[in-house]
Each structure stands twice: as C-alpha cells, then as structure tokens.
Amino acid sequence: MKSFKQKVAAITGAGSGIGQQLAIALAKQGCHLSLSDVNEKGLADTVEQTKSYGVRVTSKKVDVADREQVKTWAVETAQNHGSINLIFNNAGVALGATVEGETYDELEWIMNINFWGVVYGTKEFLPYLKQSKDGHIINISSLFGLISQPTQSAYNASKFAVRGFTESLRQELDLENSGVSATCVHPGGIRTNIAKAAKMSDSLKSLGMDPSKSIQSFDKLLRTPPEDAAQVILNAVKANKPRVLIGNDAKVLDGLQRILPTGYQTLSRFAAKLTQKL
C-alpha cells in the first residue's frame, strides 16, 4: 500500500493518543475514516479534528472487549464507506499487579481488551479487507510484548499474545497471496494517558512498591509524542514491514533482550527497585 488516498481506515481507541494521531495523519493524506472508542468525548474531539480535511468520517462508541459490538461496527463501516482497507487495532489498557495479587477479574479485563479486542477487530474486518484486495491489519503490541517486567505479568501476557497472533496471521496471509498483510507494532514509552488510566493494585506493596509512585514513574518514561508514533506506523504500513519498533527505548531494550535473552531480567529487577527510590 503505497498511498492512503481514497482508502478507508478503521481505528480503535481513536479518542486519544496514538489512535487520535493516526486518524489525523490519515485524514491529511486523504484517507476516509471509521473511528471507535469507549470514550465518546474523546471520539468527538477526534472527529472534530479530522472533518476539515475533506474525507468521510464516521464514528461509533465501541467496547472492543465485546465481540458483537465490534462485529456491528465492522458491518456498519462497510455499509457507510463501501469498502475497508485498513484496521488499526489500537485500543489498550494497563495493569500493575503481582501474579499472586491480581484478581481473575483483572486478568480477564485486560486480556479481553488488549488481546481479544485485537482478535475481534482482526477477524471481523478481515473479510472486508480481502474484498478490497489491498488491505492491511495493524495490531498494536508493546515493548512489553518483547520483554517482560515485574508487576506487568497480565500486560506482558496480553501483548506477547498480540505479537504471536499477528506474526502467525501475517504468514498465513502471505501464503494465501490474499492482497492483505499485517504489521505488529511495538511502541516504547509513548506520551499518552495510558499511565494515568492504568489500574495499580495494592499487591505492589508486597514488593516494596508504592502504587501511586509506580504510576508517576511509569508516566515519566512516556517520552515519544503520539504524532511521531503515528507517522512511524504509517511509514511501516507503506513499507509493508512485519514488525516496527517505536522509540529509542524500544530499540535499545529489544537489542538487550536479544543479547541477554534471560540475563536482561536481572537488569529489569534492578530498574524496578531503582525507580522506587527516585
């Protein structure tokens, strides 16, 4: 896909952060948009920022953890736009908790959004992308889909799952020669509201960690502007890259994991302790 002009893109989590910036960047390039988010206020703001570019913009409140809602949105997108070329499965949430301390409800909550939301978005939009014969699936994993961190077991699990799912999907699409491809995105610290919206469990105290301080430490690591991340993603789609890392932190830590596939865990533990002292 060398151009987004006159294409149709669907984006989850479009009410803020990377999703919002993807919508704006695509609109500037003449791409029609179908936007979704659970945050109707943020979604309306994104629509307002994109409608001046002369493209068709539709929006819908969608909880990506609800398969029927995602299915309905996909059907309505096809009806409203006639075709669909891109699906950006971007919506996600964060949770800080120990394995022992996190509840099953918390595990199901994060997996339903971060993993099943990607699965639903992929499966419900894929038939329409194949019909276009020029489609692309972009699934947002994380740096934490490449390396693990203490207190991030649930988040790690969801993002590692997205990575495995997407890499397998891309190989299948290549074997089919379907005209559709897939890219897995691994952002590092992107300046979004994910840290402030994260759930932090009191179970962190068992590791000597302050939940509120953990949020502050997490937020300090979010340095890359979301508009920069959006541009990297769109460039990767045009280049049909199977994987894209965003931010120097993602590149450095990915390299560290390759050099020290198990030894990096010692450094992760040290860093976790250090952030509590800063």
C-alpha dist (Å) from residue 50 to 18, 24, 218 = 14, 6, 30
Strands (E) in the chain, as ranges, are: 8-11, 32-37, 57-61, 86-89, 95-96, 135-140, 180-187, 199-200, 243-246
pLDDT of residue 193: 64
Taken in order 202, 208, 210, 216, is the CA torsion positive or negative? Answer: negative
Kindly give, in sequence order, each residue whose CB lies less than 8 Å from that of residue 278, ignoring residues fewer than 6 positions away. 217
pLDDT value at residue 160: 98
Q: Is 155 tagged catalytic?
A: yes
Residue 166: predicted pLDDT: 98
Rounded to whole angstroms, the Cα distance separating 149 from 169 reads 26
Predicted local confidence at residue 204, as pLDDT: 74
Assess contact for 237 and 137: CB atoms under 8 A.
no
Of 53, 104, 128, 155, which one is the catalytic site residue? 155
Q: How far does Cα 216 stand from its chain's mean position?
A: 21
Q: Map out the domains of the chain as residue ranges.
A: 8-277
Per-residue pLDDT of the chain (278 residues; tens, 9 = 90+): 889 999 999 999 999 999 999 999 999 999 999 999 999 999 999 999 999 999 999 999 999 999 999 999 999 999 999 999 999 999 999 999 999 999 999 999 999 999 999 999 999 999 999 999 999 999 999 999 999 999 999 999 999 999 999 999 999 999 999 999 999 999 987 766 665 566 776 777 777 776 665 455 555 555 789 999 999 999 999 999 999 999 988 899 899 999 999 998 888 887 776 665 54
Please, what is the end-to-end C-alpha distance for the chain in angstroms? 46
Rounded Cα distance between 246 and 260, Å, is: 21
Instruction: Give the Cα separation of 47 and 239 in Å (integer).
Output: 27
Given this model, what pLDDT does residue 216 score? 52
3-state secondary structure of 33: strand
CA angle 84-87-90, nearest 5°? Answer: 155
**16 Rama class: left (phi>0) / alpha (psi -120 to 50) / beta:** beta
For residue 183, the SS3 value is strand
Q: Please give the sequence-ordered ranges of beta strands (E in DSSP) within 204-276, or none if there are none.
A: 243-246
Query: In CATH, what is the architecture of 8-277?
Result: 3-Layer(aba) Sandwich (3.40)
Model pLDDT, residue 205:
77
Measured at the CA of 267, the angle between CA 264 and CA 270, to 5 degrees, comes to 155
Please give the pLDDT value at position 212: 60
Strand partners, 38: none
- CA 178 to the chain's CA centroid: 24
Q: 0.75 exceeded by the pTM?
A: yes
Q: What is the pLDDT of residue 214?
A: 47
